[in-house]
Chain A
Amino acid sequence: MIFAGVILSGFFLAFLVAPLFKVLGKAAPWVISLFPFSQLLFFLMLWTNRPHATGELVACTQWVPGAGVDLCFLIDGLSMVFMVLISGIGGCVFLYSKDYLHDDPHLDRFYSYLLVFMSAMLGLVAADNVISLYVFWELTSISSFLLIGFHPDTPEARRAALQALLVTNLGGLAMLAGLVILAEAGDSYYFSELIQRGDVIRAHPHYSAALLLLLTGAFTKSAQMPFHMWLPNAMVAPTPVSAYLHSAAMVKGGIYLVARISPIFGGTALWFGALTIVGGITFVIAAVLGLAQRDVKRMLAYSTISVLGMLMAVLGIGNEKAVQGAMVYLFAHALYKSTLFMTGGAIDHAAGTRDLTRLGGLGRMLPLVAGAGILAAFSKSGVPPTVGLIGKELIYEAGLHAHSAQKVIVAGALFGNMFLAAVAWAAGIRPFVGRLQSPEAPHALKPMMWFAPLVLGVLGVALGWAPEIVEKTFLHAAANTVSGHPVPMDLALWHGFNTAVLLSILTLAGGGLLFWVRHRWRRFAEARPWVGPDILYDRLLSVLKGIARLSTRLLQSGYLRQYMILVWAVSAGMVSWMLFDAAPLSWPAFAPVLPHLHEWVIGSVMMAAAVFAIATTQRLVSILALGVIGFGVTLFFVLYSAPDLAITQFLVETFSVILFVLVLYRLPELKDRSPVATRVRDALVALAVGAVMTLLVLGSPSVQYYPKISEYFAQVAVSAAHGHNIVNVILVDFRVMDTLGEITVLAVAAIGVYSLWRREDA
């Protein structure tokens, strides 16, 4: 319960930020920044003092009763890794934002959004219930939307925010469908139970559908191709957002999901194929594209996409080393990528540009920022002694341990990693060394802008020396969770000379070479704008808009008559379809009894009048024909023993005709009718409706009537209601409620006509 409170408390704090700023003023960011660190401490203490060696269910409260949705939180090694990253890096980003946005008037709102995001992300990685996972997932998307568009006055920011939310929401909904299928297949809404039922789910007929839907969600969130375009565009967000959401936390949501379902879905050919192909392609292409960027943040965004692809592919391989490598590299990446974003932001702040071709030698002015950047670049490129190197070597080992044909992965990894190494040096080292180059004279920075990245940068190296600290605390447990069973783990910088070490050396050498030629590659790519990320998104949107335009023209022309034609055509189709679908129907033969002559005459006159009414161009004649129909109906009422009804009909009909004629006095002559083609079309529609009617008539049962109807009413009318007019008795005595409603209708019509017709003022 306390645990749930700690996770969700960020939501409440988000509402308190504005008052805090009012009360504390400049000190408020300090207080708020304490919050994530205290959360971190709490999680670590809770974890190290856990009663069982495996995961434990900490908190459950009912949320949506009857639909199996509770707020349950589960901490195991996997969630622990993420929670440590989210709260730890969150704390650093909170500190960094304080100085980065120090002159922004809406800093309080910024912190509110960040707090909402942080709590949602914590909820996401700790959620045990699949639906609450989705809820938190969407909340991270929404807070990301608000943060990307934090300065909404530029069209790029609005477009990027929209794009990010659209893409991740599409994936989110796919994931929701996948989760529901998973829950139905595994007969549980809880991961803690679903993990036990991996065999059942892998054998389930809906396995592939559920897996592909879930992976769609993970791929959009983690910006895998072809959904990757939103992430580079999201770089318009303030740098703390990029350092937090778009490198360390939110984009890792997809990785988290894949790792979480790995014991349930993993090990099949589909799992392996989907993840290694999508992840691998993303890894290589994004790394190559990343090196062609000028903007340091875009370059880092591409490298993030690339690393996420690598993690996907590695989780797809899924062997012992792969899982360990994924966990270690995930951790290392969060540390160094946040650092690099923060140093990038610091450079932007100090020198006034993020264009790498115009930056150099800033190290002398910003030595501490440079220190952080260089340490992070070392970790990223895999220079010893960093935690990045440990992760990278594990990943090479995973490839080497794979089945024979799958060893091709190693080649791909080597190729991609060379580009990533070059990117690391271009983004993390190059701006600080060499000849001084800067559009503006670099100025000194506020302390938190170098302190926060330096802490993370140093951590990356320190943990490279002593990886067993994190291994013992949570990384080993995480690897066990993802594998689904305990695996041995022994992290160290040096395991003796082996193939992986050789590959690391090759990576660094290749990276150096690529670093050397990077400008040439950039110019080559810049000359070819189709390499841009938005092509698919723009095409898709324009196709969608095209469909919308077409269907608007077809279905929504605004013409009343076209509406009506469509409606009747569909109605006739629907009714006849229902009719023929519902076999067997009992079609009776047409009744052999012929009507009397007078009935024939009245009926024919009515039909003729109806045809005449619609055929004539003279309005008055039409209306008189309408009158003829009405009086024909009256006659039928008389014939079929409804004399009272007939009188009413007679009066109403007279009233209608008079009303029509009165209105006609105020209106112009009738225009010509529609052109021939239109009339033919209209006639076809009308014929179809008519044909259905005819069928209906054929199908109706023939029944003999008796002249006297409603013996009951006739008998009781006098005795019970003291009336001799049966219909009147029925209306005012037996059916009094209906009549009351009836009168109401007439009253409403009267009020309506009055308020429409009353004198127009002014």
Chain B
Amino acid sequence: MNVPLTHLLTLAGGLFFIGIWCAVTRRNLIMVMLGIEIMLNAAALAFVGASLRWQQMEGQAVALFVLAIAAAEVSVGLALIICIYRRYRTLDPAKVQ
């Protein structure tokens, strides 16, 4: 398993990039949240890569936090989205202003 950090970071960077794309281009609030999820996943991957390089557990522990925090953020976010949808009947961030 001689995968260099470079390759892992390539994958993470690519995912991050797609996450940004999703967060920026999509009009649906759900999709924006989805984009954030992808970005956070990418960050977790990068942490695991870094922790491999230094042979430490620290990075993995942080990756775990990232996962949990992503979940927490998604929960609160979805609750808010439902709140908004109840009133506005729209999920387009451009209409929410």
Contacts and interface: CB of A to CB of B under 8 A. Distances in A.
A727 B60 contact: yes
A622 B31 contact: yes
Contacts of B74: 656, 659-660
Contact of A660 (B14, B34, B97): B34
A110 to B, nearest CB: 48
A747 B27 CA distance: 30
Interface string B16-35: 11111111111110110011
B83 to A, nearest CB: 6
B48 A645 contact: yes
Interface string A608-635: 0011011000010011001001100100
A548 interface: no
Interface in B47-83: 48-49, 51-53, 55-57, 60-61, 63-65, 67-76, 78-83
A629 B64 contact: no
Given A614-B35, A656-B70, A568 B20 contact: yes
Given A596-B1, A599-B3, A639-B1, A568 B82 contact: no
A702 interface: yes
A520 interface: no
A636 interface: yes
A749 B75 contact: yes
Contact of B1 (A656, A702, A705): A705
Contacts of B4: 591, 593, 702-705
A636 B24 contact: no
Contact of A697 (B10, B63, B65): B10
Given A591-B4, A610-B38, A614-B26, A649 B44 contact: yes
Contact of B25 (A557, A648, A682): A682
Interface in A515-564: 557-561, 564
Given A610-B18, A753-B75, A673 B34 contact: no
Interface residues of A, number: 92
A30 interface: no
Interface in B73-97: 73-76, 78-83, 85, 89, 91-94, 96-97
A573 interface: no
A700 B25 contact: no
A613 B22 contact: yes
B32 to A, nearest CB: 8
A645 B91 CA distance: 34
A718 interface: no
Given A561-B27, A696-B9, A742-B65, A667 B85 contact: yes
B4 to A, nearest CB: 4
Contact of A670 (B1, B28, B65, B73): B28
Most chain-B Cβ atoms within 10 A of its Cβ — which of A590, A610, A630?
A610
Nearest to A599: B3
B57 to A, nearest CB: 5
A12 interface: no
Contact of A640 (B16, B30, B48): B48
Most chain-A Cβ atoms within 10 A of its Cβ — which of B3, B10, B94?
B3
A671 to B, nearest CB: 6
Contact of B48 (A630, A642, A703): A642
B85 A564 contact: no
A660 B78 contact: yes
A424 B82 CA distance: 76
B2 A704 contact: yes
Contact of A561 (B6, B24, B60, B69): B24
Contacts of A611: 18
B67 A686 contact: no
Given A561-B94, A663-B78, A709 B10 contact: no
Contacts of B23: 564
A754 to B, nearest CB: 9
A637 B61 CA distance: 12
Most chain-B Cβ atoms within 10 A of its Cβ — which of A709, A745, A750?
A709
B27 A673 contact: yes
A673 B2 CA distance: 42
Nearest to A743: B68
A19 to B, nearest CB: 53
Interface string A578-605: 0000000000001101011001000100
Interface string A652-664: 1001100110011
A694 B57 CA distance: 27
A735 B61 contact: yes
A745 B97 contact: no
A738 interface: yes
A726 interface: yes
A607 B91 contact: no
B72 A749 contact: yes
Contacts of A590: 6
Interface string A700-725: 11111111011101000000000000
Nearest to A678: B25
A750 B75 CA distance: 8
B92 to A, nearest CB: 7
Nearest to A646: B48
Contacts of A670: 28, 31
A607 B57 contact: no
Contact of B41 (A561, A564, A629): A629
B79 A752 contact: yes
Contacts of A745: 68-69, 72
A152 interface: no
B50 to A, nearest CB: 10
A89 to B, nearest CB: 58
Contact of A686 (B3, B24, B70, B79): B24
28 contacts: A560-B93, A565-B24, A590-B6, A593-B4, A595-B3, A630-B41, A645-B48, A656-B74, A663-B82, A666-B82, A682-B24, A686-B24, A690-B13, A693-B13, A693-B17, A700-B6, A700-B9, A701-B6, A702-B4, A705-B1, A706-B55, A730-B60, A742-B64, A742-B65, A745-B72, A746-B72, A749-B72, A756-B83
Q: 9 shortest A-B CB distances, which residue pairs?
A: A749-B72, A693-B13, A702-B4, A560-B93, A558-B97, A610-B18, A690-B17, A614-B22, A591-B4
Given A652-B70, A656-B74, A709-B55, 6 more contacts: A591-B7, A630-B41, A649-B44, A656-B70, A667-B85, A700-B9
